[in-house]
Amino acid sequence: MTAIVAAPAVGTRSSITANVKLKVHPVILAGGSGTRLWPMSREQYPKQLIGLLGDDSLLQSTTRRLDALDAGYPLADQLVVVGNEEHRFTTAEQLRTSGKASHLMLEPVGRDTAPALTVAALSIVAQDQDGVMVVMPADHAVADTARFHAAVSAGVQQAAAGHIVTMGIVPTRAETGYGYIRVGAPADAGAAGARRLDRFVEKPHLELAQRYVSSGEYWWNSGIFIMRASTWLKAIRHFQPAIHAACTEAFAGGKADGDFFRLARDAFAASPSNSIDYAVMEKLGNDASVCAGVVVPLDAGWSDVGSWDAIWQILPKDADDNVGRGRVMFEGAASTFAHSEGRLIACVGTQDLVVVETADAILVADRSRVQDVKKVVGRIRSEQGPEAANHRKVHRPWGHYDSVDTGERFQVKRIVVKPGARLSLQMHHHRAEHWIVVRGTALVTRGEERFIVSENESAYIPLGVTHRLENPGKMPLEIIEVQSGSYLGEDDIVRFDDTYGRQ
């Protein structure tokens, strides 16, 4: 069993010695939706899964930020990742391609960050490890990894002493999109500028944000936290007993399912929804009986990538402060951000604009109003528009499909199946399907038949017939599917067998 010593009294240096096998456990919270980055970010494919700043997704960048991390104690063998059940296959695939061993815990419903962190802490404590958790959102950006590592190391030392640590960003401008932390006296003369946590404050209006920045007493809240797993459980039990109870039951009733750990649905759904900030951090300044809150400064080019303006701030610009990604042209434009997923965007004489093009939606916004994009998403959702939930290209565990064209009683899809993958054995009540193989080889099940369809060949699946599409080859299978019928919705699927455990 791992040796653990009790945390020293709040306000003292850690008495933990080198022979104690304390471990650092990276925890990544990957359950966000990122509505302010619509139309790239959608409910079923949120911003942490998208390459908004480069080839890697934000989730992959977060995991790679941990490479060569030396926080003064050994790193745990695997990451703990808490994510939404709806995104499980894409999240797992991206973690695999990052080369990180991961324990992926699935939230059956969203309950914000406090319950997510609580189940992660329960998972760590269950390993007989009173480890230190380094808790990071999956969708932030950090430019200077070395400085990030140094700040984490300083935070781990504070956390090992029994404190709950949050990373604070010394503000460079009056920003209304971030929460703020009021910092108090130095926490420890030798602790890399760490300060006592006074209180958390809400996102301010511009005039108040300017006063915060001028005072020097307020730092931005990065959303990165460091604490012992046992310290967090003690704090959440003290401040939010209902969350602690529900999460304890959800974890105890959870079960392993392949690459995933599924929390008990009803128990987790019974937890109040609350953030780490509201549930615990806001209360530490007024009640230090459980533990002290400490703020460690982080100066590493951090951004929460929370809006299109934030992305414009991060990315390299031309001589006129324009940022273009994809097929973009600027003519007499200034301070404009344009992102194309396919079609050419030509910006002529524009200033302080955001233009984002995807296959099924286009956003045009004043850069000063990008926080209001989430209001548009709310309207789309209220009108039951498909653009709120999915892209035209939809990812599945076996590959993806792209709805190329649709009309009355027909739909055309381009389907790509990964090598060795297969769709569920299924049947439709309202549509027939024609499959034309464009590339690769398909193994088709149709009723009692099983047969191979090669390139430039086709298969017909009548309405009501059980069928399955498989890729037996070593290269991606690409087909064109033409659906015809009275109803073409994705919910017209009756599954009889599924490799991926979908109902």
pLDDT tens-place string over residues 345-399? 999 999 999 999 999 999 999 999 998 999 999 999 999 999 999 999 999 999 9
The domains located in the chain, with CATH, are 24-306 (3.90.550.10), 309-381 (no CATH), 393-497 (2.60.120.10)
3-class secondary structure for 360-417? CCEEEEEHHHHHHHHHHHHHHHHCCCHHHCCCCEEEECCEEEEEEEEECCEEEEEEEE
- DSSP per-residue string spanning 16-66: --TTS---EEEEEEE----GGGTTTSBTTB-GGGS-SSSSS-HHHHHHHTT
The secondary element (H helix, E strand) that includes residue 460 is strand 458-461
Distance CA 136, CA 116 (A): 12
Q: How many residues does the chain have?
A: 503
Q: What is the pLDDT along the chain (503 residues), one digit of tens a residue?
A: 233 323 333 333 343 434 357 899 999 999 888 899 999 999 999 999 999 999 999 999 999 999 988 888 889 989 999 999 999 999 999 999 888 889 999 999 999 999 999 999 999 999 866 799 999 999 999 999 999 999 999 999 999 999 999 999 999 888 888 889 999 888 875 567 899 999 888 888 889 999 999 998 999 999 999 999 999 999 999 999 999 999 999 999 999 988 899 999 999 999 999 999 999 998 887 676 788 899 999 999 999 999 999 999 999 999 999 999 999 999 999 999 999 999 999 999 999 999 999 999 999 999 999 989 999 999 999 999 999 999 999 999 999 999 999 999 999 999 999 999 999 999 999 999 999 999 999 999 999 999 999 999 999 999 999 999 999 999 999 999 999 999 998 889 999 999 887 77
- DSSP per-residue string spanning 64-125: HTTTT---SSPBPSSEEEEEEGGGHHHHHHHHHHTT--EEEEEESS---HHHHHHHHHHHHH
Instruction: Label residue 9 exposed, middle or buried (CB < 10 Å: 0-12, 13-18, 19+).
Output: exposed
pTM: 0.87
Q: Write down the residue that tokens 């310290």 correspond to.
A: 231
CA 436 to chain centre: 36
